[in-house]
Amino acid sequence: MKALYKAGPQAGFELVDRPEPEAGPADVKIRVMTTGICGTDLHIQSWDSWAQGIIEAPLIAGHEFYGEVVEVGEDVREVKVGDRVSGEGHVVCGICRNCRAGRRQMCIHTVSVGVQRDGAFAEYVVIPETNVWVHHDPSVTPELGAIFDPFGNAVHTALSFPWWVKMSSSPARAPSA
């Protein structure tokens, strides 16, 4: 398959042929249709100090994507071949103390798609079923599906701050009729 590949510790990506990834028992193989380019990908491309401290090349970057499921592992129960999907880029262990307590975002064994494991700047990407977001609504275009990850970050950030409290106490509100 064709992939943008970080072959070693230097700036740039190479367009190369790589073996297609194989789905494990709990994995989903996705034919990538569209990707987004994140700031993380730009750090990896430029091989700045952040990338040098976290990336272990060789690597296929990319974690913002949309695609079609082409294969599922034998333990996959909900995701089906033909589903249109995006994915959560943080793969967690599911068994550490934080995961078991429902704090998966604090998993001490988190591995990021396109950062510590091969990502979506390729024809195919493989991720665990638990990381797949199925888009049942046909109005979700490949372009929109590829930005669910950064859009989710923005929504989470906006909803984490109680802006409605500040607005309700603001003296600049329009007067009541």
- Catalytic (active site) residue 40: yes
- Catalytic (active site) residue 135: no
- Options 34, 35, 43, 130, the catalytic residue: 43
Residues 6+ apart with CB under 8 A from 173: 167
- Options 35, 40, 63, 110, the catalytic residue: 40
CA pair distance 2, 91, nearest whole angstrom = 24
CA pair distance 20, 176, nearest whole angstrom = 63
CA pair distance 82, 67, nearest whole angstrom = 9
List residues with catalytic annotation: 40, 43
